[in-house]
Amino acid sequence: MADGIYVMRLESPEIARAARPAHFVNVQTDDGLSPFLRRPLSILNTDVEAGWIEIYYDVIGPGTERLETAVAGESLDLIGPLGTAFEPPTPHTLLVGGGVGIVPLAFLAWHSPNERNAMTLLFGAATERRMPDLARIAPGDLKTILATDDGSVAHHGFITELIEQHLQKETTILTCGPHRMMARVAEIAEASGVGCYASLENHMACGFGACVGCVVEYKDHEREDRRYRRVCIEGPVVNAHEIVW
Ligand SMILES: Cc1cc2nc3c(=O)[nH]c(=O)nc-3n(C[C@H](O)[C@H](O)[C@H](O)COP(=O)(O)OP(=O)(O)OC[C@H]3O[C@@H](n4cnc5c(N)ncnc54)[C@H](O)[C@@H]3O)c2cc1C
Ligand code: FES
């Protein structure tokens, strides 16, 4: 799809039927004991009739390197779909993605054919080589604005610089990407008085609530306190205004 980024289609009728935007699968990538832990990957798209799901991954370490070498016909052990999902879009939905954070946002766009004309995708990548062919991974009729950090293609700068000019009265922002990008998106949403939900990508282990290895700190307004939530089952989609960024 881009430099170091791949898509894999997996036959999995049960997951295809149950998957909703921002759900993820926890993938066993080892062929022995290393890497021991499963790797969480969001679902890019599904075809319920054909019974497949697609995942989209950036090769950064042993787990994703193992996926890169998988061959057609091989079997992979997945747990999923896991986590919370994005709610159906509001009158106007601004999707703000960075890097592999495009995945749950693209799935939402595929999943919402009737609401797509009320969505705008703002998507940023580090440089042109890391910019995927969006025509391949997101619906062609999705209004899309691009940026690269180094200006090698499209707007020169961070995608968050373009948010304010695309806000409408009843916009809700949905975001996924690097932590610092999402923190900035939440800050802009708060200052502009619009709702904002983020799909977090914390490190994980079990993926189903048992190990408490994925917690995020949030503000508990009722108790006037800070508490923790497990991103794997109380997320990955969370109200961005509640998170301690
Ligand atoms: C809910 C969820 C959905 C995700 N969806 C996708 C997706 O669709 N596509 C995709 O490419 N990746 C996604 N990720 C991130 C992905 O899980 C990691 O990139 C992957 O586990 C890396 O495994 P690895 O063995 O290749 O690399 P590792 O050796 O585990 O990691 C390589 C380097 O990246 C760092 N790293 C690993 N995981 C993370 C993380 N979650 N956050 C920050 N730094 C990390 C490590 O500290 C290390 O420095 C998602 C994560 C979560 C929690
Ligand atoms: S990854 Fe184990 S509790 Fe979330």
Residue 213 CB–ligand 1 contact under 6 Å = no
Residue 100 CB–ligand 1 contact under 6 Å = yes
Is there a contact between 56 and 108 (Cβ–Cβ < 8 Å)? no
Closest by CA position to 55, among listed 73, 39, 41: 41
The rounded radius of gyration (Å) of the Cα atoms in the chain is 17
In this structure, the residue with its CA closest to atom 1 of ligand 1 is 201
Pocket test for ligand 1, best of 45, 55, 201 (most atoms within 8 A of CB): 201
What are residue 26's DSSP bridge partners? 40, 79
Residue 105 backbone dihedrals phi, psi, to 5 degrees:
-70, -40
pLDDT in tens, 234-245: 999 999 999 999
The one-letter amino acid at 14 = E
Q: How confident is the model at residue 35 (pLDDT cuts 50, 70, 90)?
A: confident
CATH for the stretch 92-242:
3.40.50.80
Task: Calculate how far, in angstroms, residue 39's C-alpha sits from the geometric centre of ligand 1.
Answer: 7
Q: How confident is the model at residue 30 (pLDDT cuts 50, 70, 90)?
A: confident
- pLDDT, average across residues 61-68: 94
The beta-strand segments (E) located in the chain are 5-11, 24-28, 39-47, 52-58, 77-82, 92-98, 119-125, 143-148, 155-156, 171-176, 195-199, 215-220, 225-230, 237-239
Domain ranges of the chain: 5-82, 92-242
Is there a contact between 29 and 69 (Cβ–Cβ < 8 Å)? no
What pLDDT is stored for residue 223 in this prediction?
Answer: 73
Q: With 90 as the cut, is the pLDDT of residue 59 above it?
A: yes
Residue 202 CB–ligand 1 contact under 6 Å = yes
pTM of the model: 0.96
CATH architecture of the region 5-82: Beta Barrel (2.40)
For 133, the 3-state DSSP assignment is coil
